């Protein structure tokens, strides 16, 4: 489907992570995976944004969005707005590619 888009391993992991857990910040993602440097992660987020697979959602997002950084039980008790970070969401193209990658990763 999207054969013209070439992704490295880290970009695939980030794309699947956002697909599974919702909007995410590069800072939180760096904390989750300590195998990659901050420079590499930020570069991958920028590359994915330039390729049109993710987009900037804003510096604050509502608690209704699932993210990997906060548990659902904490979210129910939390304030309506999360701290200021740069959050990224999937675009339509990104969702389609992530679904394709998710299908291949399950096999």
Rounded distance between C-alpha atoms, residue 81 and residue 60, angstroms: 7
Taking only the tens place, the pLDDT of each residue in 14-47 is: 999 888 888 888 888 788 777 888 899 999 999 9
pLDDT digits (tens, 9 = 90+) for 63-84: 555 555 555 544 444 455 555 6
Per-residue pLDDT at 45: 93
Give the CB-side neighbour count of residue 41, counting CA atoms within 13 A: 19
* Domain residue spans of the chain: 9-106
User: Exposure of 88 by Cβ count < 10 A (0-12 exposed, 13-18 middle, 19+ buried)?
Assistant: buried
Largest pairwise CA distance in the chain: 44
Tell me, which fold does domain 9-106 have in CATH?
A: Arc Repressor Mutant, subunit A (1.10.10)
Q: Give the pLDDT score at 1.
A: 47
Q: What is the mean pLDDT of residues 43-70?
A: 77
Alpha helices (H) along 1-107: 9-21, 26-32, 38-50, 72-77, 92-106
């Amino acid at each position: 489907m999207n054969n013209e888009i070439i992704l490295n391993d880290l970009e695939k992991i980030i794309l699947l992570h956002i697909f599974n857990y919702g909007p995410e910040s590069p800072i939180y993602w760096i904390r989750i995976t300590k195998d990659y440097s901050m420079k590499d992660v930020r570069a991958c987020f920028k590359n994915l944004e330039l390729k049109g697979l993710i987009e900037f959602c804003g510096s604050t997002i509502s608690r209704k969005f699932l993210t990997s950084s906060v548990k659902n039980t904490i979210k129910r008790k939390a304030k309506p707005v999360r701290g200021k970070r740069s959050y990224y969401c999937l675009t339509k193209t990104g969702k389609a590619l992530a679904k394709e990658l998710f299908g291949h990763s399950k096999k």
